[in-house]
């Protein structure tokens, strides 16, 4: 897992990309907006360090679990300012936390929109190799799809995001 994503069930981690996406999806749902892919065309079409097309498809299904409409990547999205859209949503997050009786958190304490924006707007492939680790017989791995489902479930159990 990339360094900036090492605490997937932390209730107070700004380095948590899955939680950042979950907060974004929750706010989209709360406002009645579709969840738009916040990255660029390159990251939409290319393999990334912890994902592939199947993971992106699973993420679309995951987003649908929040009852959020999903808009696939479109060329015009390059101009979509999702950082601007999320700016100032702290009070709305406070409303969501209160309404769904979530763990009391401040959006700016649990999200990393700027870091996620960097990752989703790479214009090069970002893939780390496990070859050296495998040569030294480290065989550990995590199934990304199962991990996402498990960590989202854990975030719900922790009352970090609303249940369906």
CATH, range 3-157 = 3.40.50.720
State how far the Cα of 31 lies from the Cα of 91, in Å rounded to an integer. Answer: 13
Q: Are 9 and 154 in contact (CB under 8 A)?
A: yes
Q: What is the pTM of this model?
A: 0.58
Both tokens of 42, joined, read 């390159």
Kindly give the interhelix angle for 144-157 and 17-31, rounded to the nearest 10 degrees.
60
State how far the Cα of 5 lies from the Cα of 17, in Å rounded to an integer. Answer: 6
Question: Do you know the residue count of the chain?
Answer: 164
Query: pLDDT tens string for the chain (164 positions)?
Result: 333 333 345 566 556 677 888 889 899 999 999 988 888 888 888 766 654 334 445 545 555 557 667 677 787 767 788 899 899 999 999 999 999 999 999 998 888 888 888 888 888 777 666 676 667 666 666 687 788 888 888 889 999 999 87
Q: Which of 115, 147, 112, 122 is nearest to 47 (CA)?
A: 122
């Amino acid at each position: 897992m990339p360094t900036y994503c090492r605490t997937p069930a932390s209730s107070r981690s700004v380095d948590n990309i899955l939680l950042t996406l979950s907060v974004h999806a929750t706010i989209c749902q709360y406002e009645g907006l579709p969840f738009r892919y916040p990255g660029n065309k390159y990251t939409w079409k290319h393999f990334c360090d912890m994902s592939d097309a199947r993971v992106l498809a699973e993420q679309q299904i995951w987003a649908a679990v929040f009852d959020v409409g999903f808009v696939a990547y479109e060329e015009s999205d390059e101009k979509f300012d999702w950082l601007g859209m999320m700016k100032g949503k702290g009070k709305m997050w406070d409303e969501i936390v209160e309404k769904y009786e979530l763990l009391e958190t401040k959006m700016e304490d649990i999200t990393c929109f700027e870091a996620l924006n960097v990752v989703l707007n790479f214009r090069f492939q970002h893939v780390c190799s496990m070859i050296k680790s495998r040569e030294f017989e480290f065989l550990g791995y995590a199934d990304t799809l199962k991990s996402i489902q498990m960590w989202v479930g854990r975030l719900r159990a922790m009352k970090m995001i609303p249940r369906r």
